[in-house]
Amino acid sequence: MLTVDFDRLAVKKGNVALDAGCGWGRHSVEYIKRGAKVFCLDLDLDSLYKTRYTIASMIKKGDAPEGSSFLCHIGDTLNLPFKNETFDRIICSEVMEHVNDEFQACAELSRVLKKNGRIAITVPTFFSEIIYDAITYEYFTSPGGHVRKFFPSELAHIMRKNGLEVYAVDFKHSFHTIWWIIRGVVGLHNSEHPITRGYHRFLVMGLSSKFMRRCERFCNYFFPKSVIIYAWKK
């Protein structure tokens, strides 16, 4: 399940790419499928282990184009361990709502992006975050949880201040808006609740259903979970 549209980001074979806050590596895997050389960065070591295992298995089985390569690196988006203008493409998905200084994080991402390079930053929508906050106190008080809400215009302003020119905005994952509402109602800690498990099966089924994907794209106009802002470096 990808949040970023790799065609809109114009990812090409041979691009040197960064997945900042890679989690379990869903975007890193797509980078590899497109022949990029990807750096998978996260603060969570267990997530990096899983990402490394997934990508290494792909390459071993021959499921990655020739020339693809990767490196998993533990690191902080607020202080990226890379030289200026290192990357052709950067994805920072669902990270900015967690950091203590969103302007510094954006400045670091811009610093390591090459001139004319492209970046996609995704955050939860303000609308969805308001709903979750109203349903349960757990959403914004759980360790490692979200510390802020973003209006798209606010995030775009921060990006422009750091030399990134916005060229597209998109919205995704309306079905996940419902998923988090359900989890908030039954309790974020109660992942084994029958309703939670049942809806999760529905989400998994939707990954392989063209009809459900079309339905979700339609619903994205009304109650999306995530907003994606695409920009290039001047």
Give residue 37's domain range: 16-130+137-174+225-233
Task: Look at residue 184 and tell me if it is in a domain.
Answer: no
Is 206 part of any domain?
A: no
Matching residue, tokens 């902080």: 76
**CA 198 – CA 39 distance, rounded (Å):** 35
| 21: in domain | yes
Residue 24: its pLDDT value, please? Answer: 94
Q: What is the CATH number of the domain that holds 32?
A: 3.40.50.150
Residue 112 lies in a domain: yes
Residue 70 lies in a domain: yes
Cβ contacts of 182-190, under 8 Å, gap ≥ 24? 184/131, 184/132, 184/135, 184/136, 184/138, 184/139, 185/135, 185/136, 187/136, 187/138, 188/136, 188/138, 188/139, 188/142, 189/138
Asked whether residue 180 is domain-assigned, the answer is no
For the stretch 76-113, pLDDT in tens is 999 999 999 999 999 999 999 999 999 999 999 999 99
Q: Tell me, what's the pLDDT at 181?
A: 94
Quick check: is 187 in a domain? no
Q: In this structure, is residue 11 part of a structural domain?
A: no
Low pLDDT (below 50) residues in the chain: none
For the chain, the domain total comes to: 1
pTM (2 d.p.): 0.94
